[in-house]
Amino acid sequence: MQKRLLFVTGTRADFGKIEPLALAARDAGHDVSFFVTGMHMLERYGLTKIEVHRTPGVKVHEFLNQRIGDPQDMVLAKTVLGFSDFVAEHRPDLVVVHGDRVEALACALVCATNYIRCAHIEGGEVSGTIDELFRHCNTKLAYCHFVSSQSAARRVMALGEPAEAIHAIGSPELDFHSRASGTTIDAVKAHYAIPFDEFGIATFHPVTSEADTMGAQAAALFGALKASKRPFVVILPNNDPGSEDILKVIRALPKDRFRAIPSMRFAHFSEAMKNAACIVGNSSAGVREAPFLGIPSLDIGTRQNNRSQGASITSCEASDSATITRFLAGEWGKRYPRDAEFGEGNAAQRFVEVMDDPGFWSRSLQKEFHDHG
C-alpha cells in the first residue's frame, strides 16, 4: 500500500510538527516528499529550507512564494499558482498541511479544487486572530483531520466534518520532545554563541489583526524583560505584517543580556527549551510544548487566546509589566508535572496506523456537511 505523501512546510515551526509524521511514513514504506516554501526560502529568517534538505530518504521541492513585505493575499495567490502547477505534474495521493498559515490555506484550496486528498494537521484549535479563520477554512477544505485533542476533535465536528474523518493523535512535535534531542545544551550554546549559564527563551510574533500596535507591544514586553536583568535567548518573529516593528525593538536590545537568533534547528530548540528557565512570548511553544515539558511560560497578548489553560501558563498583555515582573521573579527556573493535554508523544505512530488502513483511502472525496445534532 505504498502511497505518495506530500508534506507542505512554510515555516520552521510547522516543519517541527510534521517532520515526525513524515519520518514515520517514510519508515513505513511510503514515498515521502516535502513542498518547501514560505519563510523557509528567505535568508532573513535563517534560510531554514536547509533543515528540510537534511531529512534523509525524502524528496524536497522548493518554491519561492514571496518577497519581503508581500501582503498575505499576494502570498496566497502566488502559492496557489505554484502549488497548482506542481501537483498537476506530480499528483500525490495525499497532501499534508498544517495549522493556520497562508501557505497551508493555498495548498488546501488547490487540493479541494483538484480532488486531491488533503490531510489537515492540528485543526479545531482556537486563538481568536485571523490565523484561526485560516485554520477553520483549512478544516472545511481538507479530506481528513489529525487533531491534537478531543476538544479540537469536537470543534472539527461542529464545523460539519464526519467523525470517521477525524483522528485525535496528539501534537506531533511532542513526539520529538518526549525523547532525547540527540545533542547537549553545551553543544547548543556553542553552536549559537549563547554566553549565558541560565536563560529564558523569548519569541514574540506579530498578530496580523494588530499590526499597527505590534511595535508598541514589543517595546513594552522587551522593556519589561530588560528591566528584569534576566538573560534571554530571543528567536526572531515570523514574517507576518507587523514583524518589522518587532525586529526594530529586538535590534536595540543590549547584546550582553539578549542573544537574538533567526532560527534554531529543531533538535537544538528542543534541547534549549528543556534547559530554559522559562518561555516568554506568544509562540505556540509556550502553550503546548512548555506545559508538556513542565516549563513555566508567560503567554503574551491575544495570539494564543483560549489555546490552553495548563497550570504552568501565566497570561497577560504586553503592557502588564507588573504581571511580567511577578512571573520572572516567581516562576524563573521552576518545574511542573508534565501536562498531556495535547498528547503523550506518540502521534506519528497513530498517523501511520491510519495510513495503513484501506478504509482511509476508500472514503469518497465528495464532501458533505454532517450535522451531529
List, in order of start, the domains of the chain with CATH numbers: 4-177+344-362 (3.40.50.2000), 185-330 (3.40.50.2000)
Give the C-alpha separation, 100 to 301, whole Å: 18
| Greatest C-alpha distance within the chain | 59
pLDDT at 238: 87
Give the C-alpha separation, 80 to 77, whole Å: 5
Closest to 4 measured CA to CA, from 48, 61, 49: 61
Q: Taking each helix axis from N to C terminus, what angle separates 102-113 and 72-90, rounded to the nearest 10 degrees?
A: 40
Of 190-194, 252-256, 287-291, which gets the smallest average pLDDT? 287-291
84, 58 Cβ separation under 8 angstroms: no
Q: Has residue 299 got a pLDDT over 90?
A: yes
Q: What is the pLDDT of residues 7-59, one digit of tens each?
A: 999 998 899 899 999 999 999 999 999 999 999 999 988 899 999 999 999 99
Give the C-alpha separation, 284 to 135, whole Å: 14
* Residues in Cβ contact with 301 at an 8 Å cutoff, skipping those fewer than 6 apart: 207, 210, 217, 282, 317, 318
pLDDT at 328: 98
DSSP state for residue 367 in the 8-state scheme? -
